[in-house]
Structure 1
């Protein structure tokens, strides 16, 4: 059992796996050597949100919201009220000047929104009979407002009162929302990013106006993130990564990530067609302000915000598509995949023999689209200086289904959720052993010894 948990997994017959991607039991840099399985859901668990330093909430297709203690693994509360799957969840912090209270907002396919108190489990507010399901939520804490996105954009106050709404005409609706400076928000809708400005009147009323439409992506936008107060990034289904100025709304960098053509094929020089979009689709983006980590198909790409170049990559990081990523530091990162694994990576200066840097891997590196060139011409990956590789340092195997996402509680552990209906709480085994020893000695001291 321990061998299976720590990475002694047999290679799938349909997937060619390299020795580097099967690191086995010896994982000296993997501190997650202890796990606890958390049961409570009876369908796919898609979402995790951190409530505070010791609690998280999980939600998914069973319509339940469960609150957990990450120190003990105890299920604290079971929030029932939605009749269909949860489509979005976020925290909403309100301060009265002295204390700050964290609430949970959930959206469901039953076309309702709910406000929950995670301390008591009470459903404080609920809104039913919406025109459509909500796909994403965004809290603007500075304005004490929050937004819901779907077929329409709605603005709400902290009392769950609708302030204004605006219908959109995209077939996909709004799939992601982020906050921008000057009371603006960016909404991803199919291939476009629509910029809205919130207008606050003297009588405390709120209205929303569309001020810009950014139509520079060629395919559906799959990821949208803030980098800092001045920058944001977006990623598309065909491997486009665009870095934007959050104030002027101009393109600062454009990268088109293309796959390497097989060098072993005798007809490699004859390009029959572009790679499949799913192989280079950007499913997830995350950032620490210095680097952007992109999940592209089953691969990972680390992009420098300062130099506007990819500084490290791994073409095949998992057996299936990567669904969620996180930068642990400037040199360590984490990813999870449809293949059921969670992996820890370290940025290395030297290429690994299992996957040498080769010409044509990306096919093209640009700072502007063809016909809109704003930077140097296309460069092959071997021409990019200081390109580095990702070394696998930890393989957390515990889920039997696709791992949807994870939340890090730093020294208190890592929580993952999956299509197998389970959550797993991963702990630093050495630290946990030390804490248990301290607790034992304390108990012996209180009892006067054995």
Structure 2
């Protein structure tokens, strides 16, 4: 890990358990010509000083030094991005680095504040519309640190999340309504106040809710919309720029499935007629912020079976119900192990599946489905009859495409008068 000496702006490398305390910066990037890179500080200091981003680096280090921090970490210049291995390590470690920082400084370049008042009342509209709240990477930078100090364009303090480890202030008692600034952050971001107070509380938050926080955020590189979420789910995976957003986001979901039994990962909505069980982007979870997981070890529903991705679809055991007229149309409702509160009652989430006739039953006896009516999540009482549980496969997009290719090939052979062969 490279750290800036806050007095000299020299880069120093630390490894293993020898990393000293440090302040960390969260900000929105300007253009590549404005920002200061690792190479700029190592070899072209004179060039760096002529760039607009140099003042941001200098002022961050000045603030950190004033607060008693010898070192600071800034993503623009503390990662040697010419090394793919170092870049991958940094992206996989980012959440931990923000979590371990003694303080995080959030610099809002687009929020003006007056240096004549040490505790200015910043215009709420300007603050809430800051670009910082729209970026993908800043979500984890909001949640991970124990203490965050928000600064306006001229480095005037706007507000604080958490308590500085070196501060002599008294922390407020555990009163959820005692911090209006946290309530403001919750209103802007959708992140629960409990999570803003205690980063470890994110582990007690459903997958769907965490995804909903990122639903309308953006990143410069399309794959980063997935990579920026790894820390929120405790996931590590290879960084493969060039794979595209959908593949990166699918890989993220694969890793989540491996480590979590939370079926709210399937509780999303999108304007698509058919799909697999996995979402295409965090935007699909925009309306899923109130969904909670159900205890997978509940004694009321003792049948708990693992699920996993296979080369013929997601293998999963779900309660299947046939509604009136649905069976004739080839549809069923599958109940997920997650719920949402509605008017004081708990309603279980159900999704529509369509039976793929030409693939069922497989030799394993399992039926094969695709998700349909993807813009709908049906709600049922938790006490409703959910139908018998079934082991099924649900095809993902690429698996469905492969099957369609085989179907087209078979149809072409049939048109040529060739007999189809049955392979066993």
TM-score (norm 1): 0.27
Larger radius of gyration: 2
Instruction: Between the two structures, name the one with larger relative contact order (CA 8 Å, sep ≥ 6).
Output: 1
Q: Which protein has the bigger helix share?
A: 2
